[in-house]
Structure 1
Amino acid sequence: MNRKLKIFIVDDEMMAIQYLKSLLEKASPFYQVIGEAFNGAMALPQIIRLKPDIVFIDIRMPIMDGLELSEKILAQNKIVKIILLTSYRDFDYVKKGMEIGVTSYLLKNELTQKSVDEELIKIGEQLSGERKKSHRYTQYNLRRFLVSQGEEMIGDLEDGDVGYALVYIAYSRPIGSDQWVRRTEEVDAIALEDLAVDGGVSCRNAIHMENGSSCSIMIIQKDVGDSSQLLIEYANKVKGYCNEKNVAVSCIISDRVGSFFQLPTLYKEMEQKSNYLFRYGKEVVIRQKDIVEPQQDPIKIRTTQDIRKWVEKLFTYQKEESDEILKKAIEDFAKCYDFQGFNERIRELWIVFKYFAESHSTYNAWPQAIYTVEEIVDVFLDLLHHLRLEKEEQAIKAYSRKIIAALTYIHNNYEKNIAIQDIAEAVHLSEGHLRKLFRKEVDITLVDYLTNYRIAKAKEMMKAGEDKISDIYTQVGFTSSQYFSYVFKRVEGVSPSEYLKNLQ
């Protein structure tokens, strides 16, 4: 049991109370004295309000003795544990106390650290066992209540003048994979109930639901203003506890409601919203109202054949443009589908990419444990780059020996102030013959290829962020910063400084 056990002491002697408190403080940090009183009449209303787990009661007190007080307490709360504090001559009272439901007794004259420790350990085990048994019953009923939209009434559920909220706990599911393990068995719902936050917000019940999620019913005291930060604090503690169990979760925070019977409707809405959690990351805490409803799919590809044509078209664009198109397409899928729909689209896209990547054994199987849209984008961009390189290598192999030599010369000397004449001399062709042959085989002019290659290298340097623009242009073969800026804007549509700004 992780939560602190709440203890109340009733004794007409101040020194006796102080002595017992000193023993309790040394016993364990999981015991907390929440109140004390000098007689039964003073103690009863406090005990009813504070709901302690354990009450120490002196048998002989004025106004209302310990037996009368015990009887009145047990009439209000049958699960509270009462320990009578008695002397040797009070055994008749002790026997009567046992008959009315008192848990145990301790001799005041022999009260030691050891006797108190042993009694608390024994009662703690009893409380833990009783709580687990009660929790199973309560969890079953509350689960039925939440999923039945309130039709399954299970008695008086209201807690007085308080507010309520739900924290929906979704266990992270890998994207694109059919493998998913139910994780609720690894998380103790009672431990979720015991996670404490200060400020008037507490977990009333934590329930493992049939759909593989969990749900915490939160009580918000009436004097709490904005409860959202306290609920977020609780949700982060849930994440922390689950991380200790090596379980990844995301939490949805509901709005505050005034009635317990509004919770089923709230739960249904949150269950629906949980289908879109994957858009926001692997382990997130998010308010229900911040989860955006799906949009209409702007990419009109409905069949595997459509996707294949779309992927083929990616290779007709420049690398930067195709990367951006692919990234935006995956992000749009995430905006337009729930988890299941997004999963299906990603699987379809993967199958088509595999069709183009049969020679890459690395990509025969879907990568395991991918949970975010960003990770999905990285996987497909990596595969697209491999496919692009493969196509370029295949294309180079199809070129004549002279064109391969020209390309190699450009790749090895682009940073120098080389001209077409230099390339022609290096491959032992006339300048005119090289121009015609290059255009025929590579389907682009030699000048444009050299220019595009230099600009591509300049962009790589800008992304790396290691050099200034004023240094980059000379490193990619330009002799003038003005001419470099002119060519860059003609190729990319923006100036070098604008491109660099867009990267930030």
Structure 2
Amino acid sequence: MLKVFLVEDEFVIREGIKNNIDWKAHGYEFCGEAGDGELAYPMIQKLRPDIVITDIRMPFMDGLELSRLIRKELPDTEIIILSGYQEFEYAKEAIKLGVAQYLSKPINGEELLAELDELSAKIEEKHRAIQIRERYLQEMEENNLRERKKLFQELVTGESTVAELLESAEILGIDLSAPWYNIILFKTQSLRHAQDEYSGSLIRIEQELRGLEDGRTVITFDRNLEGKAFLLKADSEEQLLLLQQEYIEKIKDIMEGYEHVRYFGGIGKPVNRLRELPTSFEQASHAFAHRYLVQDSRILDSGHMTEEAQKEDNFDIKEVNPKQIDRTRIQEFLKQGDREEVVYFVEEFFRDLSNKALQSNIFRQYITMDVYFCVADFLESLQTDTQELETPNQDEKTLQDSDSAIHYITRILQKALAVRDKAASSRYDDVVEQVMKYIDENYADEELSLNLLASHVNFSPNHLSMIFSQQTGQSFIKYLTDYRMNKAKELLRCTGKRSSLISQEVGYKDPHYFSYLFKKTQGMTPTQYRGGTN
């Protein structure tokens, strides 16, 4: 129901308009009145009516001045001016202000209602257009997330110029400009059943973390299975470190409410150039790799880790804690790690032992053989032939020094993860096939969504989005939209069904949204397509 506010200095006319129209019966709410613009303006600001009817000449503040203020403060409010004067200058000024109607007094109730109904139809059409656009943007959000992930990769790999980065960010509505930057990598993991990935806890955590983003000092990037990355910006290094401390405390406050969820974060190195972000990311990745080496929740600062590493003394075998070389750490990494993280994981694994450890020939032989057997065991669990796995004694230089041993361990871990990912990709083919089959059978259901399908195949929405995109080369929402549009084109060309009926048959209950989406994706309206107009 549209709200109407009346401003008229002549009491008799104001009472006549207010009382001689059955507002509710005609679909309107008479929300307020005033005798001049000065009294009316604060009331209009508070009530935010859809339509203001105002006299043009009034004491204290006339209708034109009131219209200027309304246009500035409430641009969506429509204005009808009533005037007993026919001067062209008044009408000219009203048109310039964007007044919807300029009506001559006296005017009876029926005439005013006819004007209101005409204006009401325009308002409803405007509201519908806004709703349609908002729905489209919401449905296309998955594409936006994909582009944000792409932007983050460009930021941390150094493969794009600063100008290209700023341009890509501007398209996404992201302001990257700042004197100082830092990166925090962050991930949560449920300690309950694996299905809890799609439970309320992790979803609520994600919502609360998103609530911390202001778009000005903190920008969030989704890294799919690797969690999230927070890009912090500030005007000075001191401000950046203060922001970093405050932000981490806020994250910890959120996580305190979820005892069954483990979290881990890695803080990078502050940099004062956008092109130096790869350095910050590399430092954050080193700290982040420690999540495979410890069991508790924590957020590690790479700067503090470097300071500790510099304090190490000469290696003594008695200083090695057996728990630090527990192969379950390597097994955990083989299950959940990423190939891009291998270098960081290996470096941090041995840094925890003390870099001096590999200087011992006996210890070097022991640790490389242990990693070899751990990797071989993992590959066998994947039902994969281990014959091609490089053994430590295949090359006599493998155990020659610490660098050679580290390079060997890095190689076989990368080999193992490549085999794992290939096997997973084959399994994901079946998941994507299930999704496509479900879409084929249920595309007419307007409630069909990424969340619904994720629940159907027992994946989290983010995980399914990543898998679907990797396997098909396009986002889920683009695939679904293209599928529905192709079905719609088939029905438009091969049947005489009305566009509104076709809209429902391809999953859009709102025919206006269907027409909007069809034109947006096909470059023409459904009617033009049916008629063969290009």
TM-score range, shorter chain: 0.3 to 0.5
For normalisation by structure 2, the TM-score amounts to 0.33
Which one has the largest radius of gyration?
1
